[in-house]
Amino acid sequence: MNINEQLIQLFVSNQDVFLSGEELSNRLACSRTAVWKHIERLRAEGYVFEAVPRKGYRFISKPDKLDIEHIMEQLQTRIFGRKILYYDEVESTNTLAHAMVLEGAEEGTLVIAEHQTTGRGRMGRKWHSPKGKGLWMSLVLKPQITLQFAPQLTLLVAVALCRSIRKLTSLQVGIKWPNDLLIEGKKISGILLESSADEEKLQHVIAGIGISVNLDLDDFPEELRSVATSLSIEAAQQIDRTQLLCQFLLELETLYELYHEQGFAPVKLLWEALNVSLGCTVRSQGPQGVIEATAEGIDDAGALVVRLADGSLTKWYSSNVEF
Ligand code: BTN
């Protein structure tokens, strides 16, 4: 057993007790500086200790790690998430999922990581993905649709996610076009769909989903604190990531099957009922500068229908739309 493992064992078998630096250094036969360094290393991995001068350290909690066996026991889907590739750390689950498809990954394969070092957001942005605090995942989809209908899937994923959060919490989550999930104007989740097509035929879609589940305010970089939040901050309690993941995969699979059977109409109805963006002023960067309009609805392809200042209606497809 290495020193970190011995430390964990000592703390776990002495729960609620303060262990002084001196006692730890004697028990582990190392210096007090080494003890402090090991404790800091464990903290960086997500272990929580209370430190009190002259008393020492008290063990509070272990890092929240996803357990694939536990997920499989709770999962009620037929296909989605039946094969899970779980990583402690990756650059981006979307990047990895693309690579897995090239190696033959089937529809429903889920790539999930505790931490992303370079999580990707829409429009080239970064996605902040701290260790053990969220659900950072990518699902392989092979939908039977042509490329022009791919935007519908974006709305479909947002609906499934919104419904699953509403089922597990009493939080009033809403969707901002096309697929941002907000609670009282602050973002709690982002969806990045990346497709690969051959002519008009979709080969596969990687649905990348990031949910800020158990982040505390100080887990967010300063610049995000006024615009982003987490489920645990809003619900004032920790959220079970496994339960949320399983509920989401079930909602998504059910809606995806309905979409293949009945088309976009039922998804559109659900999206409209959950949206918080219609009626709002929206802006888009056009060749002649910024254009302002009012969001009026979505069309059958998932595009945003907006009313311009002259009263005419038009459609905005690009996600380069600011609310
Ligand atoms: C957005 O900009 O709102 C989309 C964010 C999407 C983030 C998720 S986290 C899992 C997956 N892997 C990535 O690199 N990005 C997506």
Residue 76 assigned as binding residue? no
Rounded Cα distance, 139 and 93, in Å: 9
The span from the CA of 93 to the CA of 210, in Å, is 10
**Ligand 1 atom 7, closest CA:** 210
Q: Which atom of ligand 1 is nearest to the CA of 95?
A: 14
Pocket probe for ligand 1: among 114, 127, 128, the residue whose CB has the most ligand atoms within 8 Å is 127
Residue 118's beta-bridge partner residues? none
Complex ipTM value: 0.99
Angle at 189 between CA 64 and CA 223, to 5 degrees: 90
122 annotated binding-site participant: yes
Architecture of domain 3-61 in this structure: Orthogonal Bundle (1.10)
Fold designation for 281-322 = SH3 type barrels. (2.30.30)
Which among 96, 95, 76, 74 is positioned nearest to 85, based on CA atoms? 96
Distance between Cα 119 and ligand 1 center (Å): 6
How many angstroms does the Cα of residue 197 sit away from the middle of ligand 1? 20
Can you tell me the distance from the alpha carbon of 259 to that of 146, in angstroms, rounded to the nearest whole number?
14
Ramachandran region of residue 93, left (φ > 0), alpha (ψ -120 to 50) or beta?
alpha
Domain with CATH 2.30.30.100 in the chain: 281-322
Give the pocket of ligand 1 (CB within 6 Å): 92-94, 116, 119-122, 125, 127, 129, 136-138, 180, 190-192, 208-210
Rounded-to-integer distance, Cα 119 and Cα 241, Å: 19
* Contact call for residues 25 and 35 (beta carbons, < 8 A): yes
Within the chain, all domains assigned CATH 3.30.930.10 are found at 68-274
- Distance from Cα 180 to the centre of ligand 1, integer Å: 11
What local confidence, expressed as pLDDT, does residue 44 receive? Answer: 81
Residue ranges of the chain assigned to CATH 1.10.10.10: 3-61
What token pair was written down for 179?
């697929």
What is the fold, at CATH topology level, of the domain defined by 68-274?
A: BirA Bifunctional Protein; domain 2 (3.30.930)
pLDDT at residue 323 in the model:
80
Cα 46 from Cα 64, distance rounded (Å)? 8
Give me 49's structure tokens: 């200790």
- CB within 8 Å of 32: residues ≥ 6 apart: 21, 22, 24, 25
Nearest-atom index, ligand 1, CA of 120? 14
Q: Is 32 among the annotated ligand-binding positions? A: no
pLDDT of residue 289: 86
Question: 192 alpha carbon to ligand 1 midpoint, in Å?
Answer: 5
The number of the ligand 1 atom at minimal distance from the alpha carbon of 189 is 3
Burial level of 169, CB count in 10 A (0-12/13-18/19+)?
Answer: middle
pLDDT for the residue numbered 319: 62
Mean pLDDT per 10-residue run, the chain (323 residues)?
88 90 92 92 87 92 90 98 97 98 97 97 93 96 92 95 97 93 96 90 95 95 96 96 98 98 96 93 86 93 92 84 79
Task: Calculate how far, in angstroms, residue 220's C-alpha sits from the geometric centre of ligand 1.
Answer: 15
pLDDT confidence of residue 105 = 97
- Is 94 annotated in a binding site? The answer is yes
Nearest CA, atom 11, ligand 1 = 208
Question: β-strands 84-90, 110-116: how paired?
Answer: parallel
Expressed in angstroms and rounded, the spacing between residue 313 Cα and the centre of ligand 1 is 31
- E-assigned strands of the chain? 48-52, 56-61, 84-90, 110-116, 119-120, 126-127, 135-141, 173-176, 180-183, 186-198, 201-211, 281-286, 289-298, 304-308, 313-316, 321-322
Q: Whose CA is nearest to atom 16 of ligand 1?
A: 208
Classify burial at 124, counting beta carbons within 10 Å of its beta carbon; exposed 0-12, middle 13-18, buried 19 or more. Answer: exposed
